A and B are shown apart, each in its own frame.
Chain A
Amino acid sequence: MVKGARLKARSAGLARHLLALPGVGWTVLFFLAPLGLLVVYSFGSVNLLTFQVQFGWTLSNYGDIFQKLYLEPVLRSFALSAAATLACLLIGFPVAFTIARARGRRQALLLLGVMVPFWTSFVVRTYGIYDVIADNGPLYHLLHSLGLVHGYIHLLFTPVGVGIGIVYTYLPLMILPLYVALERMDPALMEAASDLGARPWRVLRRVILPLAVPGIIAGCILVAIPATGEYVIPQILGGGTTLMFGNVVSDQFLNLGDYPFGAALAVALTMVLMGVLVFLRSRSYKAEAAVA
């Protein structure tokens, strides 16, 4: 009887593993294998005549990353990513709080409003922004009619334009985890803080923000990591004058044919972002434990 139960449990476990097989296979084939190939490429060199990759174990590609030429776009990427993440947080937090406090149909509609942009192609949305921030575009006319700007403003093909594109694109990825964190917060905690004499700012600082930390960390990870390696937005909105890390990597493959160095740049960025991710996740677990 016991033996039969064990056998049944073992069969169920095997079935579960078999169910996971397609997903694991997909990940190995289309994520881990290309990543491994990229790592192998990064230690190779390129034949300047045929531009074919010669596999080897040179570290020179990694050494070249620290040239000023490449550090500038790297620093620009981190700066733009940090600024865009902060902007997403500042814009997204009140939105997420409003949605979390809404109820029923209104909440569903607000959530739908956040997700609607995802129904359109990313590239199409970026070209939409292109038109909005263009010289003499709708944003220019709106700001002028509101009297907020006087004279000529130029946003397209500038770092500010790229930043606007990143914030617009990644804002939903900040709002959704913030919403999840704020939604599960007990409203009685805020009421209790107010009843005990805390002003709204103090309630926000001492009650709401600490409870929202897991959502803030998750949102920052979801925005900052893809934004750092962003390629399409600076390509379209930067006009070739605001180069980010993704563009430098792309140039190695599509312009210079230096696959090993392009691979080294990509692997280095992956490693740095993985380090940041591990750090932030550890903070997130601690914050979640504290909230619990």
Chain B
Amino acid sequence: MSGLNDVEVPRFTRRAALARGAGGLAAAGSLSALLAACGSSSSSGSSSGASSSASASNGSASGSSSAAAQGSMTGTLTLLTYPGWYGPHEFAQFSKEHPGLNVKTAVTGTTGVAAQIAQIANNPGAYDLSLAGVPVSSQMKLAGIIEPLDTTAIPNLKLIPQEFRTAFPLGIPTDFGKTGYAYRKDLIPERPTSWRELINLAPKYSGKITMIKYDSDIQGSFLKALGYSINTKSQSELNAMQKTLLALKPHLQAILETDYSKALVEGTALFAIDYDYDLAAAAQKNKNIIWVPPSEGMAAYLEGWVALKGTKHLGAAWELMNFHLAPKNYASFINATGSAFVEPNKFIDKSIAENPSLKYTSSSLSKVEFEQYLGPQQVALRGKLWEEFLAA
């Protein structure tokens, strides 16, 4: 259990819409396992860390020499993302610094990898950039709807620690998050620390448990609960996970697409299986909420921006990515969303930077397994299992 109550998260903008862009799939063991699996990367070859760029660390975006050579540097860029999943004044500032360039956002209303890819693939040219998780971006690459990353056009990419750059090679990594659970310490006598304990307590607290509606995160969590990799392709392990989930379902109060922790805050639910950033915000509202990073481990996502095939503003897209990673801009994004960050810098609020459930340390990642792309057949299979779980 980590002390979410120790540190407050002051400006949290809950992801208003429907979870992240990666569904149906799963992930690697530890971050290092993911890195190994990713192999050679198309991202920057530089190994310089977060403090390596002096020009960027003062808060201004480093200029990109090759960006202007790639496509029009005027016009409007369209970013497919979640509502509010960027700095509050970020795009206005970008337009101010880049006269003739504007940014508009399109909301992804999807809750799974398949639907997000379908949305992009069926509307070629409609979007210039998209927020995507590792599985989504990997499948996009296979589907040929993603532009290869030009790291030379994004000098600020060097501010991101190498492990994240390697793990997210097709674009700029922006944030990551873990799925754990929280309970109300004032309403139950138990002090669970594992997935197994939660599963065992479910019949006792039937109807008092809520869960996020996101296939890969939930399936990954319950694979971890059984001691399996969240990226397993084993049919027997997936069947065991499904059996556990189906046994838990009668005890669930709700499977939620929004307001993940509302019932927990109000006390009408005693447990919430949810993302770290959301539970950090919930703990701020109610000090009796205790975050549990389960001892068996946690499923995690890593997401970022990718440039899409068909964009007429590729140079401008790289420029926007570079701008997003400038320390002050990146900090404004993290401070607004309260997400776990991939680019540590001095502008990030202490309440987030020092929050044990959000900050980036090797120990905080030691029990985390990141989602990986497992191929189209696995996407379909896991989607089917999730449907079966929801329909049961």
Contact of B388 with A by CB under 8 A = yes
Is A255's CB under 8 angstroms from B255's CB?
no
Contact of B83 with A by CB under 8 A = no
Q: A157-B253, A240-B257, A255-B23 are in contact. Are A49 and B110 (CB under 8 A)?
A: no
Interface positions, chain B 231-274, Cβ under 8 Å from A, are: 249, 252-257, 268
Is B255's CB under 8 angstroms from A51's CB?
no
Contact of B122 with A by CB under 8 A = yes
Q: How far is the CA of A154 from the CA of B269 in the complex (A)?
A: 11
Is A254's CB under 8 angstroms from B115's CB?
yes
Most buried by B among A52, A53, A72, A241: A241
Among B23, B143, B207, contact of A49 (Cβ-Cβ < 8 Å): B143
Chain A contact residue count (CB 8 A cutoff): 31
Is B390's CB under 8 angstroms from A240's CB?
yes
Is A52's CB under 8 angstroms from B121's CB?
yes
Q: What chain B residues lie within 8 Å of A135 (beta carbons)?
A: 268
Contact of A256 with B by CB under 8 A = yes
CB distance from B133 to the nearest CB of A (A): 15
Q: How far is the CA of A49 from the CA of B113 in the complex (A)?
A: 11
- Selecting from B84-92, B326-334, B379-387, the interface stretch reads B379-387
Among A69, A136, A154, A258, contact of B114 (Cβ-Cβ < 8 Å): A258
Contact of A243 with B by CB under 8 A = yes
Contact of B362 with A by CB under 8 A = no
Contact of A253 with B by CB under 8 A = yes
Chain B contact residue count (CB 8 A cutoff): 45
Decide if the interface of chain A is mainly helix, strand, loop or mixed.
loop
Contact of B324 with A by CB under 8 A = no
Q: How far is the CA of A259 from the CA of B386 in the complex (A)?
A: 17
Q: What chain B residues lie within 8 Å of A70 (beta carbons)?
A: 391
- The digit string for A134-157, where 1 denotes a CB below 8 A from any CB of B, is 111000000000000000001001
Among B115, B210, B387, contact of A253 (Cβ-Cβ < 8 Å): B115
Q: What chain B residues lie within 8 Å of A37 (beta carbons)?
A: none
Is A256's CB under 8 angstroms from B254's CB?
no
Among B110, B210, B391, contact of A255 (Cβ-Cβ < 8 Å): B110
Among B116, B122, B377, contact of A48 (Cβ-Cβ < 8 Å): B377
A interface residues (Cβ-Cβ under 8 A, vs B)? 46, 48-53, 69-70, 72-73, 134-136, 154, 157, 235, 239-241, 243, 247-248, 251, 253-259
Can you list the 9 inter-chain pairs with the closest CB atoms, starting with the nearest?
Answer: A239-B254, A240-B255, A257-B114, A257-B118, A51-B118, A48-B376, A255-B112, A50-B143, A135-B268
Given A157-B254, A256-B387, A257-B110, 17 more A-B residue pairs with CB atoms under 8 Å apart are A48-B379, A49-B142, A50-B144, A52-B121, A69-B388, A69-B391, A73-B391, A235-B257, A239-B253, A240-B254, A240-B255, A241-B249, A241-B253, A255-B23, A255-B112, A255-B215, A257-B117
